[in-house]
Amino acid sequence: MNEFEKVREIIKSLESSASYTRDLKLLIEELKELMSHYHSKPLSTKEVSLKYQISTRTISRWVASGRLKPISNHGKYLFNEEDIRNIF
């Protein structure tokens, strides 16, 4: 089941639910989580360093070891946030 099918299933269950407000809040949180990687822009090495409190040197070591796969952008590294979250 892909993410969009899961969302459809959640919506169907929500429509038949008696506790609409609570379920709506849960649905919103699940949607945010499912869709976060679709709407996040790639992060630079510096942005990753600042956001996750890790050194740029550590990021470079992760790239060199193959632990983190960058997206090359004209000689500069960019990273998918989902890939970074998967490391932690």
**39-57: b (≥16 Cβ within 10 Å) or e:** eeeebbbeebbeeeeeeee
pLDDT of residue 82: 82
Q: Is 76 exposed, middle or buried (0-12, 13-18, 19+ CB in 10 A)?
A: exposed
pLDDT of residue 64: 92
| Same domain, residue pair 33 and 48 | no
Task: Count the domains in the chain.
Answer: 2
**What sign does the dihedral 64-69-72-76 (CA atoms) show?**
negative
Residue 27, C-beta contacts closer than 8 angstroms, at least 6 positions apart: 10, 11, 14
β-strand partners of 79: 43
| Same domain, residue pair 35 and 47 | no
pLDDT of residue 36: 63
Give 14-73 pLDDT, tens digit per residue: 666 656 677 777 877 777 777 665 656 889 999 999 999 999 999 999 999 999 999 876
**Residue range of the domain that includes 14:** 3-39
